[in-house]
């Protein structure tokens, strides 16, 4: 059995299928997609990739299925799904997901088309080993009783990335007891062996309210200091804008765009959209002109789509009299706390974590408070853009300057 050294899990041992999957171009490409895209501009050690993360998720999935008592065939499908759960990502991961979704209607975890059609090599490896690509794709999409293990509220994806992101940023908040989590998962209320039609539910066994809470807490603290750090958000918004401009200016097909890796995109943006691309490469970023909290922003603005964001960008740029690429409006989706619906057994009965834990309401409120709308532009236009943007977006009170 081939073993790969991993900075988080020590050694990841690959079974035969996994060893073949690793060598496919689709999987090797993940070496060139960084896990945290623009976060590395704040935390310079955060250069880890979706390649090693995918191996970590595979490793945890393997340990989880051991304890769930599923049959070998099901276990093999789950492990393959864990390996492949990120092959649908475009360059810079989540940062290009919106663009691809708007163009294709597909999210990164909708990989059915990919596994069954577009990527013959992965498909062949699966079929040669007696696995059904369709079933693997369904698991990646979160379907069936075991889909939630790959993509759900208690999934091994999150268990890996919280620990890995903390390890590589050097931030101590993401430490989750994965060793305990993967062995405390249970399938209840259904016939696990009837997968994939089983109606069993994936839950954490008795005595794990604090274990589940630690996952939420880690996510919440990581959100605050890592995932939504304003420098990473500024760079990410500039990147998304540059990608849109790139697709406008060139005749690049969206599927070709999706198959790029980070290095391809960085070179293309620098060469074809230099006003933004060179800044991203050199970390010469726009500054915050507006940084507004939820209660300053009208509901209509909070729920604006990308088209409305772009219209606002244009309007602000025109008012100030600067280039349209010099204004970036960044409106995050409404605050949510997906993990709160994960199930934990308490006194013998599975309960939603938000019902079993008093912490959830507090974390939800904290998420809401941390939500912020940003408008970014070159340093020299900050004042003018702030005034115009507050007006255009209908913000209520003066946005306070933030650290």
Other Cβ atoms within 10 Å of 171 Cβ, number: 17
From the list 190, 174, 175, 185, the residue with the least C-alpha distance to 208 is 185
274 near its own copies, judged by CB under 8 A: no
Tell me the C-alpha distance between 62 and 15, whole Å.
10
For its own copies, which residue of 118, 194, 224, 311 counts as binding (CB under 8 A)? Answer: 224
**Choices 89-97, 331-339, 364-372, 381-389 (CB under 8 A): range interacting with its own copies:** 364-372
* Minimum distance of its own copies from residue 390's CB (angstroms): 18
For its own copies, which residue of 362, 380, 383, 391 counts as binding (CB under 8 A)? Answer: 362
* Minimum distance of its own copies from residue 336's CB (angstroms): 15
Say if residues 175 and 159 touch (Cβ distance below 8 Å): no
* Minimum distance of its own copies from residue 190's CB (angstroms): 23
Beta strands in 222-370 (DSSP E): 287-293, 328-330, 343-346, 349-352
* Minimum distance of its own copies from residue 138's CB (angstroms): 28
Give the Cα-Cα-Cα angle 45, 47, 49 (nearest 5 degrees): 150
Residue 163 CA: distances (Å) to CA of 221, 261, 364: 12, 24, 21
* Minimum distance of its own copies from residue 309's CB (angstroms): 27
**Choices 69-77, 150-158, 204-212, 232-240 (CB under 8 A): range interacting with its own copies:** 204-212
* Minimum distance of its own copies from residue 187's CB (angstroms): 18
221 near its own copies, judged by CB under 8 A: yes
> Binding to its own copies (CB under 8 A): which residues in 46-85?
47-49, 51-52, 55
- Per DSSP, the three-state class of 334 is coil
Place of tokens 């250069």: 47
* Helix spans in 69-155 (H): 72-84, 97-104, 112-113, 120-128, 133-140, 147-150
* Minimum distance of its own copies from residue 304's CB (angstroms): 25
> Binding to its own copies (CB under 8 A): which residues in 15-34?
23, 25, 28-29, 31-32, 34
Tell me the C-alpha distance between 39 and 284, whole Å.
15
> Binding to its own copies (CB under 8 A): which residues in 225-264?
225, 261-264
> Binding to its own copies (CB under 8 A): which residues in 329-358?
347, 357-358
281 near its own copies, judged by CB under 8 A: yes
Backbone torsions φ then ψ of 399, nearest 5 degrees: -70, 135
* Minimum distance of its own copies from residue 68's CB (angstroms): 15
Segment (H or E) for 215: helix 209-222
* CB nearer its own copies, residue 345 or residue 375: 345
Say if residues 330 and 373 touch (Cβ distance below 8 Å): yes
> Binding to its own copies (CB under 8 A): which residues in 143-202?
167-173, 175-177, 179-180, 183
| Residues pairing with 79 in the sheet | none
**Choices 132-140, 209-217, 286-294, 318-326 (CB under 8 A): range interacting with its own copies:** 209-217
* Minimum distance of its own copies from residue 216's CB (angstroms): 10
> What are 298's two structure tokens?
């009208």
Site string for its own copies, 295-334 (x = CB under 8 A): ----------------------------------------
* CB nearer its own copies, residue 69 or residue 305: 69
Q: Is 397 buried (19+), middle (13-18) or exposed (0-12) by CB count in 10 A?
A: exposed
Q: What is the size of the binding site for its own copies (CB under 8 A)? A: 74
């Amino acid at each position: 059995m081939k073993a790969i050294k991993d900075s988080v899990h020590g050694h990841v041992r690959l079974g035969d299928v996994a060893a073949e999957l690793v060598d496919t171009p689709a999987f090797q490409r993940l070496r060139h997609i960084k896990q945290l895209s623009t976060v590395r501009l704040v935390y310079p050690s955060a250069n880890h990739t979706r390649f090693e993360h995918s191996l970590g998720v595979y490793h945890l999935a393997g340990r989880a299925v051991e304890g769930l008592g599923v049959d070998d065939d099901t276990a093999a499908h789950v492990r393959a799904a864990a390996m492949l759960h990120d092959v649908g990502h475009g360059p810079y991961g989540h940062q290009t997901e919106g663009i691809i979704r708007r163009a294709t209607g597909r999210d990164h975890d909708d990989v059915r088309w990919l596994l069954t059609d577009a990527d013959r090599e992965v498909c062949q490896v699966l079929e040669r080993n007696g696995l059904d690509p369709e079933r693997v794709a369904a698991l990646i999409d979160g379907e069936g009783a075991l889909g939630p293990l790959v993509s759900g509220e208690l999934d091994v994806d999150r268990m890996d990335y919280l620990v890995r992101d903390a390890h590589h940023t050097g931030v101590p908040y993401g430490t989750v007891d994965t060793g305990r989590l993967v062995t405390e998962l249970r399938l209840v209320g259904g016939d696990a062996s009837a997968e994939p039609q089983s109606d069993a539910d994936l839950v954490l066994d008795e005595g794990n309210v604090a274990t589940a809470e630690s996952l939420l807490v880690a996510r919440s603290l990581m959100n605050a200091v890592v995932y939504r750090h304003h420098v990473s958000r500024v760079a990410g918004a500039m990147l998304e804008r540059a990608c849109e401009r790139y697709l406008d200016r060139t005749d690049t097909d969206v599927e070709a765009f999706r198959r790029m890796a980070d290095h391809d995109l960085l070179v293309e943006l620098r060469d074809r959209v230099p006003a933004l691309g060179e800044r991203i490469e050199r970390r010469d970023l726009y500054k915050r002109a507006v940084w507004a909290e939820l209660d300053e922003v009208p509901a209509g603005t909070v729920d604006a789509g990308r088209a409305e964001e772009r219209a606002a960008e244009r309007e602000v740029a025109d008012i100030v009299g600067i280039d349209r690429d010099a204004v970036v409006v960044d409106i995050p989706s409404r605050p949510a706390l997906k993990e709160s619906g994960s199930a934990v057994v308490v006194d013998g009965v599975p309960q939603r974590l938000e019902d079993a834990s008093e912490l959830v309401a507090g974390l939800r409120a904290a998420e809401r408070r941390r939500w912020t709308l940003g408008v970014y532009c070159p340093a020299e236009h900050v004042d003018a853009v702030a005034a115009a943007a507050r007006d255009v977006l209908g913000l209520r009170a003066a946005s306070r300057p933030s650290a």
